[in-house]
Chain A
Amino acid sequence: MKNSILSILAIACAMLGSVQTVSAAGDVAKPKQMDWSFSGPFGTYDKAALQRGFLVFKSVCASCHSLDKIAFRNLEALGYEEAQIKTLAAEYTVTDGPNDEGEMFDRPARPSDYFPNPYPNKAAAKYANNGAYPPDLSLMTKARKDGANYVYSLLTGYKDAPEHVHLMNGQYYNPYMAGGVIAMPAPLSDGQVGYEDGTATTVDQYAKDVVHFLNWAAEPELEARKRMGVKVLIFLSIFALVMYGVKRKIWHDVH
């Protein structure tokens, strides 16, 4: 019996092992492995980091990248009050309409509005970025392998290009990017964004915070999911123990 269970596990593991997908061509650097507060079965987001990360996103990344899936009202999860969100949203202008006269009009954004796109369309985004399209960041940490570590490594990994790599105008060297060449200039520099809580204003810290924020944007359900998961596993484990007892009792005189 034990043998068959072991072999089942062995087969299952072997299958999982085979799942590993390929990394992109060329020698891509393996992302630095960071210690995120949201990883692990009990992981949670750090609200202060989320707010700082949002600040970095809003003042740096948002000038090129969209964040389509996030509405201002969602920012409540970062610990902002309703009033704060109203003021925050009102900093942005969105186009609404048509009104009663059939005209489109601009108005300040409301909490129910989604984060505005920096460019009117994809062509404009490409045109402004040397032909490269800055992808939407709402799902970025899920859309790359080892996403959070990857984005962190990418943001902090810019280097001078080694000799054999020839960069064209508007290209930069980054060993973490597939192929080593990226069209995004290093977006972060020390002291670029002012923090009010006294946290260090370094590239490294900005990168950590903005990745924290982006991971939330990609998986806003993460905390609820893990909390529920712990409860479900505890329940199932007890259920399994009870069923094991029931099964043994019933089978007692058969063996």
Chain B
Amino acid sequence: MAGGQRQKFDNPVVEWVDSRLPVFTLMQKEYGVFPTPRNFNYFWNFGAIAMFMLVTMIVTGITLAMQYTSSTSMAFDSVERIMRDVNYGWLIRYIHMNGASFFFIAVYIHIFRGMYYGSYKQPRELLWILGVVIFLLMMATAFMGYVLPWGQMSYWGATVITNLFSAVPVVGDDIVTLLWGGFSVDDATLKRFFALHYLLPFVIFAVVFLHVWALHVTGSNNPTGVEPKGKQDTLPFHPYYTMKDTFGLIVFVIIYAAFVFFMPNALGHPDNYIPADPLVTPAHIVPEWYFLPFYAILRAITFDLGIPFTEVVLIEAKLGGVIAMFGAIVLLLIMPWLDTHPVRSARYRPWYKKTLLVFVFGVVVLGYAGSQPADKVYWQTCIGSEAACEATDAHHGAADATGHHDVAEKAPTVLKFDNTMLAQLFTIYYYAFFLVILPLLSRKEQALPIPKSIHEAVLAKSKAKETK
């Protein structure tokens, strides 16, 4: 970054600036000739896509803030005013609203890429940790953003999530009061959430800067997980990756635009078009889709943890849920130390690959579980006399419609698999993947032969193509 030996630019204006502040040299070095592995696949596109989304969110967000009013009596109507009376207000709002979802889609794929190809491993641990920090900040930002339109889900989502902090021992209630700025989710809450929602994206921007800086120190990983060994393994970033990234970005934006223009509310909840009402609780309070897996983990802990065979409760269910939810992200944070296998890429680690794909499947199932009511029953069977079983069935049906409860005298045993159990099952796998499978594979897994260099891998691939 320092002056040093700087190459002169032909353009006199550029040269004048660069000799005083070498920004052009910097860009040239970091984005022009920056040596980049030649074998990236399209998974390597999602960092640039996430960057594009961040900028999109900041630009549309600031534009919305010019018309938005953060008081509980006016927030909902001010958003509707933007939708109806502000020129192209609907466009800006739908871009921002769906942008949050597509930002998360990009970042989830980006994180998956890192896991699959072992990008979190030495020497990229700090780069990875900065990424998880960005992810956490994004979740905080998105959560607070969702509160701003002050619809029913805004209000009740905020109430449920802020209440979680009351589970924290000793200081819990104080934290909640601080978050609320009072004694319930109200005007003060909305105002501080707006202030923070405006602030956090810039904090994210700063962390992204560090993230990319760290990337440019270690250089990028690549699908083989083998470090580049020389010029034959890399290409200059420009024009190779600038053009490839632009192409990928546009394909991504096409899908994004299809949502913005043709199904702008498909990813949202209809209840958020009902103004917030503290007196009416929605039938099911569900967070935005990108939080659902974590919400499922939160709800999976339905039992107190204590010393067995005594009445002593160490961790109440509510606190347990909160710990499990945040723990799920802490596990990501320490992943570089849980997986110490010397081979990076899942391509050459058959067991890691399988267990990781099951993990991804598990997260998707958790997302589904998070969207369903906790007591939803997927399968059940009744062991006992036929009559008794029928009685429980009938009781079930009638209770729904009229609220009558006829309790059968001799209750049969009902075996069932419900939504909570589904969430518990995959929460266990989530934790086991990090805490059992990764350390175990680190020691036991026999990797497939890895190519000597990127160059060799690329050549082998094109040869295979030719002989076909």
Contacts and interface: CB of A to CB of B under 8 A. Distances in A.
Q: Do A and B truly interact?
A: yes
Interface string B367-380: 11011110010000
B274 A143 contact: yes
A65 to B, nearest CB: 14
Contacts of B254: 233, 236-237, 240
A210 to B, nearest CB: 18
B109 A19 contact: no
A18 B371 contact: yes
A19 B101 CA distance: 11
Contacts of A17: 364, 368
B257 A11 contact: no
Contact of B400 (A21, A26, A233, A255): A26
B240 A254 contact: yes
A24 interface: yes
Interface string A214-228: 000010110001101
A19 B257 contact: no
Interface stretch (A80-88, A92-100, A195-203, A245-253): A245-253
Interface stretch (B35-43, B185-193, B197-205): B35-43
Contacts of B462: 255
B90 A221 contact: yes
Contacts of B266: 19
B41 A1 contact: yes
Q: How large is the interface on A (under 10, 10 to 19, 20 to 34, 35 or more residues)?
A: 35 or more
A95 B189 CA distance: 34
A144 B270 contact: yes
13 contacts: A4-B43, A15-B108, A16-B267, A19-B371, A27-B400, A143-B270, A147-B270, A221-B83, A236-B250, A236-B257, A247-B243, A247-B244, A251-B244
Interface of B: 38, 41-43, 80, 83-84, 90-91, 94, 105, 108-109, 112, 235, 239-240, 243-244, 246-247, 250-251, 253-255, 257-258, 260-262, 264-267, 269-271, 273-274, 283-284, 286, 289, 292, 360, 364, 367-368, 370-373, 376, 398, 400-402, 458, 462
Interface of A: 1, 4-5, 8, 11-12, 14-22, 24-27, 41, 69, 74, 135, 138-139, 142-145, 147, 164-166, 178, 180, 218, 220-221, 225-226, 228-230, 232-233, 236-237, 239-240, 243-244, 246-247, 250-251, 254-255
Given A15-B108, A164-B401, A218-B273, 17 more contacts: A8-B42, A12-B255, A16-B267, A18-B289, A18-B364, A21-B286, A26-B401, A74-B84, A138-B80, A139-B273, A139-B274, A145-B270, A164-B402, A178-B283, A228-B261, A236-B250, A240-B247
